[in-house]
Homo-oligomer: A and B are copies of this chain.
Amino acid sequence: MRFVISPILAPVHTSSRDDAVLHALVDFVTGEGLRPGDRLPTERELAEHLKVSRTTVREALTRWQELGLVERRQGSGTYLKSAVTRNMLHLPLTLPSGNDFNSLMHTLEIRRGLEAEAAVLSAERASDADIAFIEQQLIRMEEAFHARHGMSADEDWDFHLAVFRTSGNPLFEQIIAAMYEMFHRFWEHPLGVRDFGHASFPYHRTLFNAIAARDPVAARAEALKLIATVEDDLRRGAANLKKQSKKS
């Protein structure tokens, strides 16, 4: 006779030592009201007070470091890098991200989904100050564009970040900030396309206008058009590479 084991029977999890350390540390940080930038107790102090070895404390802090919650400086101390709350959620994404055409296009598709949604929300919710803030970033980008006769990665990023930030949903900024490196590979390896992103320039202002006019539908449309021009650039780059490999 073969039994179907009830799924409820599986998950007996032994609370490990370093988990306990992290829980205690959460309580300490919240209880003490520590904020990002503040310094945590030294590893030796933590080990002594928590009655565990420094090795265990270090394993726990290593985990927090990998999550970007703390930063350790040798000779100085361990510093809080992000807000810590009791019920926070860790999403360690590991993405196979190459510099090939497909990988870049995949990242753009993700960005298209998030960017369009953020544009909608920003158009619905942005305050007057938010609008002014976005416009400020837009102007900076436009000035950099004219000065360099081409897109500037940093200023362009600041503009898009401003849209995310004014969406009223902090998750957008956090997710997109974590993907910063991924998206920036476009500018690091533009696949030989000259004036990469050039075509997207005018749509930054049309997107801003839609948000400033509090028109969510138009904002989504402009955001999608903007991303579409980048996709076109990317396809041109892929075609270039193909042509070059044919020649050689």
- A residues engaging B (CB < 8 A)? 3-4, 6-8, 10-11, 55, 58-59, 62-63, 65-69, 71, 82-83, 85, 87-99, 106-107, 109-110, 112-114, 116-118, 121, 137, 154, 157-158, 161-162, 167, 169-175, 177-182
A162: chain B residues at CB < 8 Å are 4
5 intermolecular pairs with C-beta atoms under 8 Å apart: A6-B154, A59-B59, A66-B90, A91-B91, A113-B117
Q: When chains A and B are docked, how far (Å) is the Cα of A6 from the Cα of B173?
A: 10
What secondary structure prevails in chain A residues at the interface with B? Answer: helix
Q: When chains A and B are docked, how far (Å) is the Cα of A177 from the Cα of B6?
A: 8
Chain B residue with minimal CB distance to A115? B113
Q: Once the chains bind, are A88 and B95 in contact (CB under 8 Å)?
A: yes
- Name, among A55, A87, A173, the residue most crowded by chain B CB atoms within 10 Å (CB to CB): A87
What copy number does this chain have within its complex?
A: 2
Q: Once the chains bind, are B82 and A94 in contact (CB under 8 Å)?
A: yes
Chain B: minimal CB distance from A82 (Å): 6
Q: Once the chains bind, are B121 and A117 in contact (CB under 8 Å)?
A: no
Assuming the A-B contacts A88-B96, A92-B178, A95-B174, are A109 and B117 also in contact, with contact meaning beta carbons closer than 8 angstroms in the complex? yes
Contact for A177 among B8, B172, B179, CB less than 8 A? B8
A178: chain B residues at CB < 8 Å are 8, 91-93
Q: When chains A and B are docked, how far (Å) is the Cα of A113 from the Cα of B174?
A: 15
Assuming the A-B contacts A113-B118, A171-B107, are A98 and B87 also in contact, with contact meaning beta carbons closer than 8 angstroms in the complex? yes
Q: When chains A and B are docked, how far (Å) is the Cα of A179 from the Cα of B7?
A: 11
